[in-house]
Structure 1
Amino acid sequence: MGSEFSAFLQTLESLQKLTIWGCDNLETIPSSDKLTSLRSLEISHCGKLTCLRDGLEASSQSCSLTRLKKLTIGPFCSELDAFPAFQAIPQLESLSIWGWDKLKSLPEQIQHLPSLRHLEIDFFYGVEAIPEWLENLASLEDLTVGYCKILMYLPSVEAMRRLTKLKEIRIRGCPLLEDRCREESDEEWPKIRHLRFITIGDKKIEN
C-alpha cells in the first residue's frame, strides 16, 4: 500500500467507514489524522503488519479518531509475541479483536475503554484466562469469546458481578471453557449464571 493511497486517504475527511482487509504486503498503517469523521474502522488479516502508527498507536500524543465508535483489529504478523500496542479510544463502543498462535495475553489497553458496550475476542490461541481487569469495562453490555482453544478461566465471580450492565455472553469454539461453563459445573458457571442471555456452543440459555 503505497504513498499514493496514503495521500488519497488524507482527502477523505468525510469518510465514515474504512476497511483494510487481507493486505498481505501492508507493513504500516496509513495516516489517519485527517479521517476525523470516521465512525467504523477495520484493519484485519494483514500478515506483515507489526505495529500501528498515527492515530492508533499507543504513543500518539492525541487521537484524531474522535468520532470512532466501532473498531475491528487483527490478526497481524504471526511472528509477533504481543499484540501491537494501540491507543485507548475513550468514545469507542464496539471492539472486535483477533489474535493468533503466539499470543499469551490480551492487550491491556482494552481495559481503558470506558464507553465500550460490545466486546468480541477471537483466535487468541495461547490465552488461558480472561484477566481480572475486565471488570473495569463498566459500560459493557455483551461479551463474545470465540476460538480460544486453551482458554479455561473467566474473571472471578466478584469481577463479573461488577459488570452491572453486562446482560449477554457468548462462548463458541472454546472447548475447555465451554466444558467448564456447563450448568452442572461449579467451576465457571457461577460466574455467568446471573446473566440474562447465555450461549455456550450451540446451547442458548435465557434467564
Structure 2
Amino acid sequence: MFPGLEKLTITECSLLKSAPTQLETLRELEIERVDSEMPLLNLCSNLTCLVDLDVSDVKELTCLPDEMLRKNVSLQRLWISDCRKFCELPQSLYNLHSLESLRISFCPNFSSFPVPSGENYLTSLRRLHLLYCDGLTSLPNGMLEQCRSLKILRVSNCKNLVSFPLHVWEVPSLSILDMSNCPKLISLPTGGLHHLTGLWDLKIGPFSEIVDFEAFQLIFNGIQPLLSLHTLWVYGHGHWDSLPYQLMQLSSLIEIRLSDFGIDDLPHSLCNLTSLETLHLVGCKRLQHVDFRDAMPKLHYLEICGCPLLEALSDGLSNPVCLEMLIFWNCEILERLPSRDVMRSLTKLQFLKIKDCPQLEESCTNWSSPNSQWSNISHIPKIKVGGRIFRT
C-alpha cells in the first residue's frame, strides 16, 4: 500500500481507531483532531526515516514511545500541541542529533522533560518552544548543553514552572529569548545577557515574588552595548516603583513594552532611547503622569493600556513629532488629551484609538458638551472611540 508515500496528513478524523503500519518511506506526518492515539502509534511503529512530525489535538495521547524516537534519528522537527493528556517525552529524545525544532504547546499535563545522560545532546537544535504547559514545574540542568546553534528559545506562559537553569554560555547563538509569564519561576539567566551578541528580541518576566527588584535588575548588567537588541518586553511587579536603569541606555532599541511596574511617572532617561519607534505601557497600575519632556525623534506608535490612575496627558506629547498611532485602552479615569495646539502639531498622526476609557470617550464624542475634545482630534484621518469609527 502506497510504497513510495513520503508525506501524510490526517485531520479531523475524530473516530479513527487505527492506521496502516507498513508506510516505511514516510518522511512527513501530520495528524490532528483524532481522539485515539492508536493511529499515530500504528503509523510510527515501523518508521525509520521520519523527518517531520506534527501532532495536534490527539485527545488520548499521553507520551511518545521511546522506541519510535530511537528508530527515527533523522527527525528534524517535532511539534506537539493541544494534547490535553500528553505528559512526557522519552529519554530517546536526546538521540535526535538532527532535531532542529522542538515545540510543546498547550499541553496542560506535560510535566516531564528527560534528564540528559551520557554523550547525547540536542546538538542541532535551533528552535525550542515550551508554551502554555501548566504541568511543567522544572527543566533539567544540562538540557541545553551543547546547543550552540540554538537561535530561538521560548519558555512562556508555563504557570507552575519554578526551575529553569539557563546558562548563557551554553547558547551563544540566541537571537530570540522569551522567558515570560512564568510567575513562579525563581531561576534567573546566568552568565550575562550581554554575551548574546546576536540577541535582537528579548521578553522577560515576571518572575516569582521571591525574586526581588535588585536581583531582577542584575539580569541586565552590561547589556548597554548590545547594539543588536531591537525588541524588549519587560514584565515587573506592581510594588516595583522603578525600572532597571540599564534599559534606559539601549540607544539601538526600536520597541519596548513595560508591563506591570509600579512607576507613577516615566523616567527622564527614557529620552536616551533615540531609536525607539514603538512604546507600550501596559498594566502600570500606579502610573499618573505621562510627559515626554524631551524629544523622541523616531517614536511613531504609543500604546497606554490598563493604567487606572492616569487622568491626563501633558502637552509634552508634542515632542514625539513622528507619532502615527496613539492608543488608549482601559484607563478608567483618563479624561483629558493634550491641548488642541499640541494634538494638531502631531501632523503625522494617522490613527487614534480609545477603548474602555469612559470619561475620555464621552468628551471625544459629545460634540455639544462645553468640555468636548472633538476639535482637538477631528483632524486625525482615522479615529476609533469605543465601537465607533470616524473617518475625517
TM-score over 0.5 for the pair: yes
Preserved CA contact (<8 Å) 2:205 2:234: yes
Structure 2 distance, partners of 1:52, 1:155, is: 33
Within 5 A, what are the aligned runs for 1:135-146? 135-146=271-282
Q: 1:29 to 1:155 in 2, by over 3 A?
A: farther
The offset of 1:122, in angstroms, is 0.8
Structure 1 distance, partners of 2:114, 2:248, is: 34
Preserved CA contact (<8 Å) 1:147 1:172: yes
The offset of 1:136, in angstroms, is 0.6
1:104 alignment partner, one of 241, 252, 257: 241
2:196 alignment partner, one of 40, 65, 90: 65
2:306 alignment partner, one of 173, 176, 193: 173
Q: 1:176 to 1:53 in 2, by over 3 A?
A: same
| AA matched with 1:168 | Y
Residues 24-58 of structure 1: CA distance to partner in whole angstroms, max 9, x if unpaired? Answer: 321x64212132221110112242426441133xx
Q: 1:122 to 1:29 in 2, by over 3 A?
A: same
Structure with the larger RCO, 1 or 2 (CA within 8 Å, 6+ apart): 1
Alignment length (residue pairs): 188
2:208 alignment partner, one of 77, 80, 99: 77
1:49 alignment partner, one of 176, 179, 186: 186
| AA matched with 1:152 | Q
Of stretches 129-138 and 148-157 in structure 1, the one that deviates more from structure 2 is: 148-157
The offset of 1:108, in angstroms, is 0.7
Preserved CA contact (<8 Å) 1:43 1:72: yes
Preserved CA contact (<8 Å) 1:78 1:101: no
TM-score (normalizing by structure 1): 0.79
Give the match for residue 59 of structure 2: none
Within 5 A, what are the aligned runs for 1:4-153? 4=116, 5-21=140-156, 22=158, 24-26=161-163, 29-44=165-180, 45-49=182-186, 51-56=188-193, 63-82=194-213, 84=216, 85-87=218-220, 88=223, 89-124=226-261, 126-153=262-289
The offset of 1:115, in angstroms, is 1.2
**SS at structure 1 position matched to 2:309:** helix
Structure 2 distance, partners of 1:24, 1:7, is: 17
Structure whose CA Rg is larger: 2
Tell me the percent identity.
28
**SS at structure 2 position matched to 1:191:** helix
| AA matched with 2:203 | T
**SS at structure 2 position matched to 1:134:** helix
Structure 2 distance, partners of 1:145, 1:100, is: 13
| AA matched with 1:180 | A
Preserved CA contact (<8 Å) 2:166 2:188: no
Residue segments in structure 1 that go unaligned for 5+ positions in a row: 57-62, 182-187
Q: 1:109 to 1:49 in 2, by over 3 A?
A: same
Residue segments in structure 2 that go unaligned for 5+ positions in a row: 1-112, 117-139, 331-351, 354-376, 382-392
Residues 47-81 of structure 1: CA distance to partner in whole angstroms, max 9, x if unpaired? Answer: 2426441133xxxxxx3311110000000122444
Q: 1:191 to 1:29 in 2, by over 3 A?
A: farther
Give the match for residue 199 of structure 1: 327
Structure 2 distance, partners of 1:86, 1:132, is: 22
**SS at structure 1 position matched to 2:195:** coil
Structure 2 distance, partners of 1:51, 1:19, is: 14
Preserved CA contact (<8 Å) 2:186 2:210: no
TM-score (normalizing by structure 2): 0.44
**SS at structure 2 position matched to 1:36:** coil
Q: 1:24 to 1:146 in 2, by over 3 A?
A: same
Q: 1:108 to 1:50 in 2, by over 3 A?
A: farther
| AA matched with 1:49 | I
| AA matched with 1:20 | V
**SS at structure 2 position matched to 1:8:** coil
